[in-house]
Amino acid sequence: MFQLRWIVTQQQDGMLVREFLKQQHISKTALTDIKFQGGRIEVNDMPVTVRYVLKAGDEVRVSFPPEQKSVHMVAQPIPLSIVYEDDYVIVVDKPPHMATIPSREHPQGTLANALLYHYEKQNLQATVHVVTRLDRDTSGLVLVAKHRHVHHILSEQQKQGGVKRRYEAICHGYVTPLVGTIDAPIGRKGESIIEREVRPDGQRAVTHYAVLQYKNGMSHVSIQLETGRTHQIRVHFSYLGHPLVGDDLYGGFREQIDRQALHSCELAFFHPFLEKTMTFHAPLPHDMARLL
The domain ranges of the chain are 3-63, 166-264
Cα distance between residue 24 and residue 21, in whole Å? 5
CA torsion 91-94-100-105 (nearest 10°) is -170
Q: Which CATH superfamily is domain 166-264 in?
A: Pseudouridine synthase (3.30.2350.10)
Mean pLDDT in runs of 10 for the chain (292 residues)? 92 95 90 90 95 96 87 90 97 97 88 96 90 95 95 93 95 98 96 94 97 96 94 98 97 96 98 96 97 92
Which residue intervals of 37-144 are DSSP H helices? Answer: 111-121
Q: How far apart are CA 282 and CA 265, in angstroms?
A: 5
Q: How far apart are the C-alpha atoms of 94 and 63, rounded to whole Å?
A: 31
Does 3-63 match 166-264 in CATH topology?
Answer: no
**Furthest C-alpha separation in the chain:** 68
Strand runs labelled E in 22-160: 40-43, 46-47, 59-63, 82-85, 89-94, 129-130, 139-145
- Which element (helix H / strand E) includes 290? helix 286-291
pLDDT at 66: 85
Measured CA to CA, the distance from residue 143 to residue 110 in angstroms comes to: 15
**Cβ proximity of 169 and 262 under 8 Å:** yes
Between CA 87 and CA 95 the distance in angstroms is 24
Q: What is the pLDDT of residue 205?
A: 96
d(CA 240, CA 141): 26
Instruction: Write down the pLDDT at residue 235.
Output: 98
Q: Is 42 within 8 Å of 60 (Cβ atoms)? A: yes
Choose among 1, 83, 75: nearest CA to 42. 1
Q: H or E stretch including 148?
A: helix 148-159
pTM for this model (two decimals): 0.90
Query: Of 182, 287, 161, nearest to 235 (Cα)?
Result: 182
- Whether a cis peptide bond, with omega within 30° of 0, leads into 285 is no
Fold of 3-63: 3.10.290
Residue 135 a catalytic site member: yes
Q: Of these residues, 135, 201, 247, 248, which one is catalytic?
A: 135
Determine the pLDDT at residue 150: 94
Please calculate the CA angle 57-38-86 and round it to the nearest 5 degrees: 65
